[in-house]
Amino acid sequence: MPCKHIEVKTFKLAHSTSDTVKIEHVEKPYGEYSSPVVSIAIYSEGKTKTSEVEIPYENIEIFFKALNESVALCDSIPRSEIHAELNSEIGGGA
C-alpha cells in the first residue's frame, strides 16, 4: 500500500491574505513498514507548498511541550499594543 495522506485540518495563516496551513495524518510515509507521521505544510495562495515538516507520532508530546514553551516565551516579552502609537484600534496607511 502506498503512502496515504488524510487531511485533518486546513486553516488560513495569520497575517496573510491567501496562505494556508494544512495538517495531515500520513500513513506509510517512507514505505511499507514506516510509522505514521503528522505533516504540517504551508501553502502559498492555497496552491503551492512552500514548506513542510513531518513529525513522528512518537515525538508529538515533546513537540506540543515545545510549542507551549514557545507561546509562554512570546507572551513573556513586553510589546506595545497594536496601533498604540496611533491611539486607535485600527492602523492607518501612508
Residue range 57-71: average pLDDT?
97
Q: 93 or 44, which is more confident?
A: 44
- Identify the pLDDT of residue 34: 95
- Identify the pLDDT of residue 10: 96
pTM equals: 0.78
- Identify the pLDDT of residue 75: 93
What is the C-alpha separation between 12 and 45, in angstroms, rounded? 10
